[in-house]
Amino acid sequence: MRQRAINIYANAATGQSLDKVMEFARKTAKDVLPDGYTLAEVGASKDVIDAFISFIFTLVMGLLISYMILAIQFNSFIHPVPVMIALPFPLTGAFLSLLLTHNSLNLYSFIGIVVLMGITLKNSILLVEFFNKQRREHGRTLREAILVGGPIRLRPIIMTSAATVAASIIPALGIGPGAEVRVSMAVVIIGGVCVSTLFSLLVVPCLYDLMAPIEDSSHHVRRELDTADACEEEAELVGR
For residue range 69-103, list pLDDT tens digits in order.
Answer: 888 888 888 888 888 888 888 888 888 988 888 88
Q: Give the list of residues 6+ apart from residue 17 with CB closer than 8 angstroms, or none.
A: 104, 106
The predicted structure's pLDDT at residue 232: 55
Question: 13: left (phi > 0), else alpha (psi -120 to 50), else beta?
Answer: beta
Which CATH code fits 44-210? 1.20.1640.10
First to last CA, the chain: 82
Backbone angles phi, psi at 138, to 5 degrees: -105, -5
Q: Which of 107, 139, 128, 120 is nearest to 191 (CA)?
A: 120
Q: Does residue 237 register a pLDDT over 60?
A: no
**b/e for 156-192, b at 16 or more Cβ within 10 A?**
ebeebbeebbeebeebbeeeeeeeeebbbbbbbbbbb
Q: How far apart are CA 66 and CA 116, in angstroms?
A: 14
The predicted structure's pLDDT at residue 233: 56
**b/e for 202-231, b at 16 or more Cβ within 10 A?**
ebbbebbeebbeebeeeeeeeeeeeeeeee
pLDDT range class, residue 234, cuts 50, 70, 90: low
For residue 73, the Cα-to-chain-centroid distance in whole angstroms is 19
The predicted structure's pLDDT at residue 72: 87
Q: How far apart are CA 169 and CA 165, in angstroms?
A: 6
Which residue stretches of the chain are H helix?
18-32, 44-74, 80-84, 88-101, 107-137, 142-173, 179-239
Backbone angles phi, psi at 105, to 5 degrees: -90, 105
Tell me: the pLDDT tens digits for 12-65? 776 666 677 777 888 888 888 888 787 777 777 777 777 778 878 888 888 898
Tell me: the pLDDT tens digits for 200-228? 888 888 888 888 877 766 554 445 444 54
Average pLDDT, the chain: 80
Q: Is 187:101 a contact under the CB 8 Å cutoff?
A: yes
Q: Give the list of residues 6+ apart from residue 126 with CB closer than 8 angstroms, or none.
A: 153, 156, 157
